[in-house]
Amino acid sequence: MNLARSLAVLLALSLSLAARAAPPDPIEVAVDAAWEKYRTLQEGKNADYIPALARVDPKLYGISVVTVDGKVFEKGDVAARFSIQSISKVFTLASVIEHSGAKAVLDKIGVDATGQVFNSIVAIEQHKGAEMNPFVNPGAIATTSLVEGATGEEKWARILAIHEEAAGRKLTVDETVYRSEAATNGRNQAIAKLMQAYGRLYFDPGESTDIYTRQCAISVNVHDLAVMAATLANGGRNPVTGKQVVSSANVPRILAIMATAGLYDDSGIWLYQVGLPGKSGVGGGILAVAPGRFGIAVFSPPLDATGNSVRAQRAIRDVSSALDANPYSVKARKGQAP
């Protein structure tokens, strides 16, 4: 054997040893497989009731997983920016529950699923503004109205701050999306007024709706959402920055509302199939939390009839199932007496 040949054999041997020593992480395998599986899926349609959302490229598709020890696994359009929309409801709730306490959320907003679409006026009428929850628009605008602060500016500063702490970086508002929604949000303005009429709004209705519209236009990428989800998975502490964003005692309460109302009136189907508390936005993002393990987020703009991203739902379901992440799924113990 000449020298070049034996060197080549040695190199091949060490490469194969290295490959054996470091098999790919199962999370990486699951993320890659889910991304590939739904890459060409074309079901669903961008939200179009907010004109700026109809113009987003429907082909954009990214998956990000961030573990509670800060490891990151991602694939696809990870840097693409989009508006956070209803996912902001989770972090505005976090701000209110931290400042005003769990009882205030229960008494002043409510925590039961309405069983109605997220911007239902029938749901308000049914309960005279009571028994909403922070993830349907009436309860969400009421939650925004409850954020600490004497002025709209103070409330907005707190809302932006908690989003930034959960994402671990400075965030900005997509002004095009904000203006587009502000010009067409008559229904949300009506919802806020009606909630005020029932004594269930805690700040000026016009200003509350405007701040709510602004929070929905916060610009994020799928990595930001995964870090935000991982913060909840990690007992409220951002696993990348180490900052305690939400107290550990409040996290299970936030996750409970995500489980019952995070995917609107399809929340039951979602929990049945996936088991992870999640939250979707009409911008095409969904985040989900595997408590004690990881946060996952997927971005893909086309939505189903309920308003949830089609590819995001399927990709999260696949990754969660591949990693056995359903917190309700427990192996039976062996050897116990019947």
* Distance in Å, CB of 149 to ligand GLN, minimum: 21
How many CA atoms within 13 Å lie on the side-chain side of 121? Answer: 10
Q: Which of 219, 215, 240 is nearest to 295 (CA)?
A: 240
Nearer to ligand GLN, 239 or 284 (CB): 284
Q: Which of 85, 114, 120, 180 binds ligand GLN (CB under 6 A)?
A: 85
Nearer to ligand GLN, 180 or 238 (CB): 180
Nearer to ligand GLN, 119 or 250 (CB): 119
Residue 307 in contact with ligand GLN, rule: CB under 6 A = yes
* Distance in Å, CB of 86 to ligand GLN, minimum: 3
Nearer to ligand GLN, 216 or 276 (CB): 216
* Distance in Å, CB of 251 to ligand GLN, minimum: 22
Angle of the 205-216 helix axis to the 186-197 helix axis, nearest 10: 140
Q: Which of 66, 201, 263, 282 binds ligand GLN (CB under 6 A)?
A: 282
* Distance in Å, CB of 185 to ligand GLN, minimum: 7
- Tokens 């309405």 label which residue? 114
Residue by residue, DSSP assigns 275-336 as -S-EEE-TTSEEEEEETTTEEEEEE---B-TTS-BHHHHHHHHHHHHHTT--TT--PPPSS-
How many CB atoms are closer than 10 A to CB 36? 11
Residue 145 in contact with ligand GLN, rule: CB under 6 A = no
* Distance in Å, CB of 258 to ligand GLN, minimum: 14
Provide the greatest CA pair distance for the chain.
90
Q: Which of 118, 178, 202, 294 binds ligand GLN (CB under 6 A)?
A: 118
CA-to-CA distance for 45 and 310, rounded, in angstroms? 9
Residue 129 in contact with ligand GLN, rule: CB under 6 A = no
Q: Which of 295, 318, 226 is nearest to 30 (CA)?
A: 318
* Distance in Å, CB of 303 to ligand GLN, minimum: 9
Nearer to ligand GLN, 68 or 192 (CB): 192
Q: Which of 129, 134, 278, 281 binds ligand GLN (CB under 6 A)?
A: 281
Q: Which of 64, 95, 119, 221 binds ligand GLN (CB under 6 A)?
A: 119
* Distance in Å, CB of 163 to ligand GLN, minimum: 15
Residue 133 in contact with ligand GLN, rule: CB under 6 A = no
Residue 51 tokens read as 């004109």
Q: Which of 86, 144, 231, 234 binds ligand GLN (CB under 6 A)?
A: 86
Nearer to ligand GLN, 47 or 68 (CB): 47
Q: List the interface residues with ligand GLN, window 192-231 (CB under 6 A).
A: 216
Q: HEC profile for 97-124?
A: HHHHCHHHHHHHCCCCCCCCCCCCCHHH
CA-to-CA distance for 141 and 128, rounded, in angstroms? 15
**Under 8 Å between Cβ of 221 and 80:** yes
Please count the residues of this chain forming the interface with ligand GLN, following the rule CB under 6 A. Answer: 11
Nearer to ligand GLN, 100 or 119 (CB): 119
CA-to-CA distance for 330 and 122, rounded, in angstroms? 39
CA angle at 328 for the pair 263 and 67, rounded to the nearest 5°:
75
* Distance in Å, CB of 259 to ligand GLN, minimum: 17
Nearer to ligand GLN, 67 or 133 (CB): 133
Q: Which of 155, 152, 115 is nearest to 136 (CA)?
A: 115
Q: Which of 190, 170, 150, 181 is nearest to 86 (CA)?
A: 181
Binding site for ligand GLN (CB under 6 A): 85-86, 118-119, 137, 181, 188, 216, 281-282, 307
